[in-house]
Amino acid sequence: MLKVFELKFNNYDGNGTGQADTFCFFPSQKTEKRLGVLCLLSELRNPDFHNRQLLEKLTDVIAKEHRANIFMPTQAFQQALNKANEFLQNELQQNNPSWLGNLNLTAISASDNHLSLKISKTGQLKALLFRGEEAFDIGGNLRESQTSGKFFPEVIEGKLENSDRVLAATSEVFEALKNEGIAEGLAFAKNPKEIKKIFKQKKKILKQFSGACLIIFVKKTFFSKTFHFFDSLSANQKRAVIGSVSVIILALLSLLGYFVF
């Protein structure tokens, strides 16, 4: 089970010098669950008149393409990023380059079935993985270039573990989380309630800052543990497990038939 916290602090001095937003897609239908959760953290600094809707349009492009690949879940995240690259390239071709150097977006795909994590970004945003009491700068391993025509140049993939916390934040908010001891508190948070408590205590202070952040908390359920165990097996081991389960089911059905008749 994945618990997601979205926090927005759209202050920016009240003069329109920036925008920040979060978007999370949670599968509502059984067929969508294979896609997992898609989370986007976006920021646009110094937007001009032509770019007021850029973040909304870009997140919409990514979300729609991700959902369109429902029958190819392993490729859905990359296909969504490819579509985002096409969208931004098209903006440049339409003589709209003012967002270059001002656009920051982190895309995260997380699955509680496979306990997997995929992350990509364009621009300067922070992303950390808290495991136990350690913090890993997963966003620091991603390239930030916006000059190659490929604005999401790479994807990092990894496995999630029980009680992992994933933090993505805009630069100003991240500095505030670090300076106010919130990032350190996340390293020791053992459940979503503790995370809520940390932010509630610092609510007034955080209102002074501009930007947004996302926090994903991982909690294994019985089904996710079982699925993860099965997914880790080799092909031969999977066939053996399926065969054993089939024998058990047939035996139970035979036993049920014996009592019924």
Chain segment 192-234, per-residue pLDDT in tens: 999 999 999 998 888 888 999 999 999 865 444 444 444 555 6
Residue 83 in this model has a pLDDT that exceeds 70: yes
**Are the C-beta atoms of 66 and 35 separated by less than 8 Å?**
yes
How confident is the model at residue 44, as a pLDDT?
93
DSSP E strands, the chain: 2-9, 18-25, 37-45, 103-111, 116-122, 125-131, 134-136, 156-159, 165-170, 211-218
The sign one gets for the Cα dihedral 135, 140, 141, 142 is: positive
Give yes or no for residue 95 having a pLDDT over 70.
Answer: yes
pLDDT of res. 90: 94
For residue 125, which of 214, 36, 248 has the smallest C-alpha distance? Answer: 214
Question: What's phi and psi for 129, nearest 5 deg?
Answer: -115, 120
20-69-60 Cα angle (round to 5): 25
Q: Does the CA dihedral 23-26-32-37 come out positive or negative? A: positive
pTM greater than the 0.95 cutoff: no
Spell out a b/e string for 183-194, using b for 16 or more CB atoms within 10 Å of the CB, else e. bebbeebeebee
Give the angle 106-152-15 at the CA atoms, nearest 5°. Answer: 50
